[in-house]
Structure 1
Amino acid sequence: MGSSVSKAALEATTDELMEPDPKHLADLIQYINGTNMSVKRLADVLSEKTRNSSWVVVFKALVTVHHLMVHGNERFIQHLASRNSLFTLHNFLDKSVVEGYAMSTFIRRYSRYLNEKSLAYRLITSDITKTKRGMDGMMRTMNTKDLLNTLPVIQTQFDALLNFNASANELTNGIMHAAFMLLFKDSLRLFAACNEGILNLLDKFFHMTKNQCNTSLDIYIKFLRSTTKLAQFLKVAEQVGIDKNNIPYLTEAPSSLLEALKQHLASLEEKNDIFPPYSLQHSLIHSISNSSFVKVSSSQTWFSAHKPVEARQHGGTIIGNNLDDSLASLVESTHQLLN
């Protein structure tokens, strides 16, 4: 690794109480985007920094790694995913300064999320935050078996992110703020992937075996809980000054939808029915046609890594066409079961 890049890595992780310098981060991005550049050496330098005793140095190293995961060449996260272990900071505690206790808590949570992000890449063989979205995207076209294997991996990563659980009053310094902004961007993309996977899951629900329906119901319930936690996370984002136009407005699916899914599973367990009774099918159609899993703003700033979603007015609310069309597709496919 060239001396200038090594210097940039070291200067991005100094013990100064400020976020990593954007210039140094840009130098590192340029380095790993270059052909035949050693991402291993850079990863080693940053990994070594996470073994420092200072919370400032460790936190900045984690922010730098996350920044490179998000904005750098895929070879970087690919290399991190190939390692047997990434960060072992579950016991990290800086007792040398008063703020070290509180910051150490967030370091432990943050490192766990980065570990899960790396592991998810290994299991899915792609960074789900960067995959294509929409009706012809990865999560909408995935078959049942892969969907049931992939969604729990995404949900585990998503839960680790939401467990960062910082209030606006705790985002007291530039390092914390830099970490939160990276988490915010990932949260929207992870939720989009989960949301599209859930739409696909519901689309396939009546064609599943009893065991698959049981697994799908567990995934769906976990999705509802994560959506509630995400709403709290987004409130913090708004409180720290992120433009409201860049924050999605979430709406809960009606309880009748969950009940319809439960009743269908119960009917399979009791009668081994391949398809549910007409009344249950009708209930599900009604629930889906009257629900929106997410209402998003017209601004797509945080999804700039992908093709922007074209939005339109729908009942006075901006709804992304891809999500709206997905719901329409669900209704249509469920109608086909009645024919």
Structure 2
Amino acid sequence: MDQQSLRKAIGALKDSTTVGLVKVNSDYKELDIAIVKATSHVEMLAKEKYIQTIFSAISASRPRADVAYCINALARRLAKTHNWAVAIKTLIVIHRAFREVDATFQEELMNFTMGRSHMLNLCHFKDKSSPNAWDYSSWVRNYALYIEERLECFRIVKYDVETGNTRTLDLDTVNLLEHLPSLQQLLLRLLSCQPEGAAIYNSVIQYALSIVASESTKIYNAITGCTLNLVDKFFEMQRNDALRALEIYRKAGYQAERLSEFYEICKGLELGRELKFAKIEQPDVSFIDAMEQYVKDALRTQPANLNMVDANKRLPAPKSFMGIEHKKVDSNDDKQEAIAAVSVSPEQIAAETPKASVPAQTEVPDLLGLDDASQGAAELEENNTLALAVVPSSDPLDSTSADLMGETTGWELALVTASTSNRSAIGESKLVRN
């Protein structure tokens, strides 16, 4: 008998011994047997009936003592094992419970982890039984980090991946700057689940990866919605908030590129047959440059306690940051969510914008097509004694700017107009105060 066969035989013996002890000593015999069977040493997916028995024991209708017992049993299973199959199958049970059981399970698990070491912290987990087991162990550690971050995101910003976030357009600047870093950290953990080496071809890992990939759509949709809202508020922020927002916007572009690479890996796997992927476009580079330049100007010329620019003079945001549409595709075990990206190129934006020669004070159109600025915000600007005063300029440079604008249209015209208007407003506001 070779080492691999001996290892499997020992694992089977451990499982049967555990089941025998449960039948004699446990007050939760059916549940304990289901946990052992669902997280056994056998290197294949567990039977669905055992997983459903666990889900029944942790539902909202069951006594909280039963739920706590089940969480303790799963925690012991994770803490004691050095076998990659047991670890990943236990994580799959917990992950699926987040998706298929009501939110009370996440709350109970959150309460369980408070004041003690996190049961999902497997950063030191290693299965040294074979070279392949090393690759499997690495993926298990990353998978555990993603599930732990999922629970943390639920604790901090009350975001549940399964139910999604429908309040992204209603969040104010403070909440946006709190939500977006948490969501981006969750997506970062998800992207770390990209398999490598032997893990790419393992069927159990591919099953868990299919669940992770299906959740990427909802997470990225939430990030995109919050980012669009953040862009709309960017030129009304105070400079410290604007610096944070710019960093978030840069990171969103980087993560979009990483997510495209992640999808390319998934396309080559069996799970790629059940999901439809499309290329994710990057945010418009010219808009990022405009944001960066504006922040530099604001840091040099404006106090920290003043709004960065008049709401009516702000630069337009890209018409589409990263729209994502998805549809469900039926599979035998679960419904996966198809992923598609919708983007608008700068050429399309320029084609939609008529050519015109406009003065520097002309209001820039909202290329995002989002909600118009509220009248209440405009009235607040006018009544705010600390707001910047914007007055017409007689500077001969204006004629130069007008000549330049006469040769530009669309997106470029919006950037030149806003930039010229902002510099004139800042310089002349100093004259008004003097």
Q: Percent identity?
A: 19
Note if 1:247 corresponds to 2:280. Answer: no
CA distance in 1: counterparts of 2:208 and 2:135, whole angstroms:
15
Determine whether 1:130 maps to 2:160: no
Q: In the aligned structure 2, how far is the partner of 1:65 from the partner of 1:189?
A: 19
Match of 2:75 among 47, 54, 63: 47
1:216-231 to structure 2, matched below 5 A, reads 216-231=245-260
Structure 2: unaligned runs, 5 residues or longer? 1-26, 346-366, 379-417, 419-434
Instruction: Assess if the C-alpha contact under 8 Å between 2:88 and 2:140 holds in 1.
Output: yes
Q: Is the 8 A contact 1:248 1:294 kept in 2?
A: no
Q: Deviations over 1:290-336 (max 9, x none)?
A: x4413435x3449x99xx99x99999xxxxxxxxxx94206x449x9
Say if 1:312 and 1:204 are closer, same or farther in 2 by CA, change over 3 A: closer
Instruction: Name the aligned partner's letter for residue 261 of structure 1.
Output: M
Residue 95, structure 1, aligned to residue 128, structure 2: yes
User: What is the TM-score of this pair, normalised by structure 2?
Assistant: 0.65
CA distance, structure 1, for counterparts of residue 343 and residue 153 of structure 2: 35
Report the counterpart of residue 170 of structure 1 in structure 2: 199
Q: How does 1:1-339 map to 2 (within 5 A)?
A: 2-37=28-63, 38-51=66-79, 52-82=81-111, 83-84=113-114, 85-132=118-165, 137-167=166-196, 170-241=199-270, 242-243=272-273, 246-272=276-302, 274-276=307-309, 281=314, 284-285=315-316, 288-289=318-319, 291-296=320-325, 299-301=327-329, 327-329=368-370, 332-333=372-373
Could you tell me which amino acid in structure 2 is paired with residue 103 of structure 1? Y
Q: When you count helix as a share of all residues, which structure comes out higher?
A: 1
Determine the C-alpha separation between the residues in 2 that align with 1:223 and 1:292.
10
Amino acid at match of 1:42: C
Superposed displacement of residue 195, structure 1: 0.8
**Structure of greater Rg:** 2
Q: 1:256 to 1:300 in 2, by over 3 A?
A: farther
- Is this contact kept in 2: 1:53–1:94, CA < 8 A? yes
Task: Please tell me the residue identity of whatever aligns with 1:223.
Answer: A
Asked if 2 retains the 8 angstrom alpha-carbon contact of 1:267 and 1:276, the reply is no
Q: Is the 8 A contact 2:44 2:203 kept in 1?
A: yes
Q: Structure 1 residues 170, 30: CA separation in 2 closer, same or farther (over 3 Å shift)? A: same
2:287 counterpart letter in structure 1: L
Q: TM-score, structure 1 length as denominator?
A: 0.82
| Pair 1:152–1:56, CA change in 2 (3 A) | same
Task: Please tell me whether the aligned partners of residues 34 and 51 of structure 2 are also in contact (alpha carbons under 8 angstroms).
Answer: yes
Q: For structure 1, which segment, 224-233 or 14-23, has the greater mean C-alpha deviation from structure 2 after superposition?
A: 14-23
Distance in 1 (alpha carbons) for counterparts of 2:78 and 2:119? 10
Aligned residue for 2:58, secondary structure, equals helix
CA distance in 2, matches of 1:227, 1:301: 23
Q: Contact between 2:274 and 2:329, CA under 8 Å: does it hold in 1?
A: no
CA distance in structure 1 between the aligned counterparts of 2:258 and 2:189, rounded to whole angstroms? 11
Amino acid at match of 1:211: N
Give 1:36 deviation, angstroms. 2.9
| 4+ long deviations beyond 6 Å | 277-280, 311-315
Give the deviation of 1:167 after TM superposition: 4.8
What is the number of equivalent residue pairs in this alignment?
314
CA gap 1:207/1:70 in 2 versus in 1, 3 angstroms? same
String of CA shifts for 1:60-111, please: whole Å, max 9, x gaps. Answer: 1111111111221111111222213232311111112332211111111111
RMSD value, Cα: 3.4
**Structure 1 stretches lacking a partner, 5+ long:** 316-325
Whole-Å separation in 1 of the counterparts to 2:321 and 2:237: 23
Q: What amino acid is the match of 1:164? A: C
Match of 2:15?
Answer: none
Cα 1:192–1:33 change in 2 (3 A) is same
